[in-house]
Amino acid sequence: MRLAYDVEAVRAAEAALAAGLPAGTLMDRAAAGIAAACARLLGSTYGTRVVLLVGSGDNGGDALHAGARLGRRGARVDALCLGSRTHQEGAAALLAAGGRLHGGTERADLLDDADLVVDGIVGIGGSGGLRPDAARVVARAEASAALLVAVDVPSGVDASTGEATGEVVHADVTLTPGTLKPGLLVDPGSSCAGLVEVVDIGLGPHLAALGAPDVEALEADDVAALLPAPGPESDKYQRGVVGVVAGSDEYPGAAVLCAGAAVRSGAGMVRYVGPDHATYRVLARWPEAVAGEGRVQARVIGPGIPELDAVLDQVARPEPVVLDATAATAYARAGGPALLTPHAGELVRVLAAAGVEATREQVEARRLHWAREAARATGCVVLLKGSTTVVAAPDGRVRVNPTGTPWLATAGSGDVLAGVAGALLAGGLPPFDAGSVAAWLHGLAGRLAADGASTSASAVLDALPAALRAVLR
């Protein structure tokens, strides 16, 4: 499990650790780790050209001390000082190692021939976009052939939320001391971070003492441990029967995709309820499905159903339920535990039904905040689909999904996800785990199906067994 802590928790852990260490130890540890990672990225440090973009705070100090270490390894290191002041100890260390300090933007031309640029402008305490002078320097760095490495978070990205307002750094690699920060896992911040690596400075025990992390991200071992597994004496009912209420005369394909995803995600049986035309399509594609009502352990309601009134009687039943698309707004009628699976536009309607106002643009900009708010307001687990899938529980727990590909933004993809989640609910997982595991498997199946090119929801569905096999190995 990858764990991310918000800024307040990180500062508290740093203070607790620093209290038992000589002054400056934490910065020295961070700088050593950053320098070592930069040296690995460069391959051979001697003779390389490194430019530091340095702000006023400790983030700039980390960059300067790391630059000093690279200088002692034979790199030419120049620092462009973009803040109102410069970290004194860091500046002295860089000068002692043969580095050079330059005021403001006066030597921005150094970026044109740099091999590596280190972003130390603003750290975890920053908010808002870059100032105009810093933005111009960053734009020049991004236009160069240099590898761009951010210290802690890309400057301009909110470390706790991933919000990015105004101009920000778009890094190739982010080296974050101590622990992951939520803004590195959630778009738009995660899209600015590139490859993220944690630099160990000894914070682990102090973070654990503070309690639960702000955000979690499942890894393959976590998914394997959570997946329902049949035993030697399991029958189809013990494996879980999922009822799929999906599709319409207008969108029969949604029923085929959703039912098929449930079939291929481990359900013991799939019962399908829908209009005659969609029923014919489902049974023609999935002869193992059963048409009509019957005993189920969970339901999926909503994919491909434009009219909410058509399914309200299904929502009010006692089994756990996945409410997708239009049906997500019917959360208040759910007779059992509910997992809502809206995209940003649908989440706006869910929030409105709960008496909370938001726009789609606001949801996209602050995905963590609005997923949490929706879970709190509805009392349901909310799986917010999009560039970063966020799963939020009413008790405040949040997981973000690390798998996936932009090629999953295709018609029917959400119908497949809903079917996977329904099978996992029927298999006995609670909604928070079912949503998290479903998103992970769906994302991996999307990667396998795309394989670097465009894909379709049908191809993602076909890749689900391979995704499951990859995890269970």
Q: Which residues are documented as binding site?
A: 58-62, 119, 123-129, 152, 155, 254, 304, 343, 385-389, 414-415
Binding residues for (6S)-NADPHX: 58-62, 123-129, 152, 254, 304, 343, 415
- Which helix (DSSP H) or strand (DSSP E) does residue 244 occupy? strand 241-245
DSSP classification of residue 84: S
Could you give the 3-state DSSP secondary structure of residue 320? coil
Which residues touch 317 (CB under 8 Å, ≥6 apart)? 299, 335, 336
What amino acid occupies position 55? G
Task: Evaluate whether 65 touches 93 at the Cβ level (below 8 Å).
Answer: yes
DSSP code at position 323: E
Which residue, among 103, 135, 106, has the nearest Cα to 121 in the 3D structure? 135
Neighbours of 48 (CB within 10 A): 19
At 283, the amino acid letter reads L
Q: How many residues does the chain have?
A: 473
| Helices 252-264 & 457-472 angle (0-180, nearest 10) | 10
- Rounded to the nearest 5 percent, the helix, strand and coil shares of the chain are 45, 15, 35
Residues making up the annotated binding site for AMP are: 385-389, 414
Q: What sign does the dihedral 452-456-458-461 (CA atoms) show? A: positive
- DSSP H or E stretch at residue 49: strand 49-54
Q: Nearest-CA neighbor of 186 among 363, 346, 387?
A: 387
CA dist., res. 197 & res. 175, Å (int): 5
Would you list which residues are annotated within the binding site for K(+)? Answer: 59, 119, 155
Q: Taking Cα atoms as reference points, which of 285, 300, 287 lies closest to residue 240?
A: 300
Given a contact cutoff of 8 angstroms between Cβ atoms, the answer to whether 470 and 446 are in contact is: no
In 219-258, which positions are buried (b, 16+ CB within 10 angstroms) versus exposed (e)?
A: eeebbbebbbeeeeeeeeeebbbbbbbbbbeebbbbbbbb
Is the bond preceding 188 in cis, omega lying within 30 degrees of 0? Answer: yes
